[in-house]
Structure 1
Amino acid sequence: MVATGFVAVLTGCAATPATETAVTNQTALENRAPLLPSALFPGSAQRFSAWHCEPAQQHLVTATNANDLRLWSLHGAWRLPQAVVASGARYQDGEISFWNRGDKARVETPRGQLKCSLAEQRDALTRAEKPGVMFFGQGNEPGWSVALANDTPTLTMQTNYGEETIELPYMVSVMDNEAGRVVIENADVAPFFRVRIEAGACFDNMSGKPFPARVTLTYGGDQYSGCGQGIAP
């Protein structure tokens, strides 16, 4: 695409046909990594917190930013702006609010109130730890991981505790930004795989560490479940 107001004239060079330029631009777009839903990321927060809540036995995940709080439950994700409060920290969006002081919190929704206690914390993954990766998911028994490159639609998969590593291109079959849901799979490339990513509270089944996304990997006739996180630059 040529920027408005900028014209370059090269003596002796033929102009590129418009149709060829359009095809080139389309190919470039197809070779770029997709923009993932913001609900999969911590924002500017440096860590995730896990909360165990009563009386409904709810488990929540939060990430606190400068002016808002990101909240994940088993049913989805919300971004709550900071509200004025006499003590502690309160975040509210409509009828949903989160108030906490230290290791105690209270959540209010149209369905009722939850009293929560801080259970676990985990530092958010960064690009310094995972260079070139915009999303990382992992699971256990057997250990596996998937990493989506930040520049091209390429997936790096490790299975069987890292003994097998493959790198394959993928296509996006589902992209629901509002729900925070993404499904990617390979296109006419063997072996077949599918990765389903959904925004929602997730906890490592060995360590209990909190994540903002649930990840399901289908590969080699098997299905694996785990957790993941978007990694911002």
Structure 2
Amino acid sequence: MSRLLAPAVLGAALLLGGCATPSQPAPITPGTQAPLLPSALFPGGAEAFTAWRCTPDQALVTAASEGELRLWSAHGAWRLQPAVVASGARYEQDEVSFWNKGSEAIVETSRGRLECRAYMQRQALTRQQRPGVMFLGRGNEPGWMASLAHDRPEVTLSLDYGTREQTLPYRVTTLDNAAGRVILASGRGDTPFELRIEAGACLDDMSGEPFPARVTLSVDGEQYRGCGQGIAP
């Protein structure tokens, strides 16, 4: 069997648990079109992601746009709507509420309360910056990237700081919109890999930059972990 490529996080589940019950969809037949990825992997209309450090110890990621706040914890994702408040900004969805003023925020659910402080912001990746890419995952030591094409079921895998790179077809084995989870497998028997994408707060382990998805790439007997973001047109 040939090798795939020739040379060329977060916090405790104290407060925010998963927002949906995972399901096990049947494998999806490969096609000629790229799949529609769960919206929880995207920033929506937001231009930036914000990382928050909270007490009790937990990390959150948010993306705010007009009329909506997207919130990610280590175990799920929420889309909160604006609510009336005397000062600052408040968003709610069912039992989850997020209030912030400046760099401070309070998150409340039926499980308890988090007091948070913003410490980093990252501009969301755009299609202009990454033409033809609908999702980008990346990690460090060694540096790697996985870029999903927006118009066909193909992924470009770049490993070892770009010294090994190949574009390959993939098939979807799991697509769970409610849980924000996607699992992709190689479309070629001689070049196996698995790419797992799950919605949830993710901080780059070198820069600390915030992302809305955790990504795990398994290839050639190795496992690479990192963060990722869906990129809308």
Matching residue of 1:67: 67
Which blocks of at least 5 consecutive residues in structure 2 are unaligned? 1-28
* CA deviation string 1:75-130 (max 9, x = no partner): 10000011111110100011100000000000001110110000111000000110
Matches within 5 A, 1:1-233: 30-55=31-56, 57-233=57-233
1:187 deviates by 2.7
Distance 1:205 1:153 in 2: 29
**Higher RCO, 1 vs 2 (CA within 8 Å, ≥6 residues apart):** 2
For the aligned residues, what is the CA RMSD?
1.1
Is the contact between residue 168 and residue 187 of structure 2 (CA under 8 Å) also seen in structure 1?
A: no
How far did 1:188 drift?
3.4
Distance 1:34 1:43 in 2: 18
How far apart are the structure 2 equivalents of 1:68 and 1:129?
A: 24
Contact 2:72 2:201 in 1 (8 A): yes
Q: Name the CA distance, whole Å, in 2 between partners of 1:151 and 1:159.
A: 23
- Structure 2 CA distance, aligned partners of 1:45 and 1:188? 36
Large movers: runs of 4+ above 6 Å = none
Match of 1:19 in 2: none
Whether the 8 Å CA contact 2:47–2:124 is kept in 1: the answer is yes
CA–CA distance in 2 between the matches of 1:158 and 1:30? 24
Name stretches of at least 5 consecutive residues in structure 1 with no aligned partner.
1-26
Aligned length: 205
Q: Output the amino acid matched with 1:73.
A: S
TM-score by length of 2: 0.86
What is the percent sequence identity of the aligned residues? 60
Greater gyration radius: 1
Contact 2:70/2:79, CA 8 A, preserved across alignment: yes
User: TM-score, length-normalised on structure 1?
Assistant: 0.86
Cα distance between partner residues in 1 of 2:188 and 2:65: 41
Residue 5 (structure 2) aligns with: none
Q: Classify the secondary structure of the residue corresponding to 1:130.
A: coil
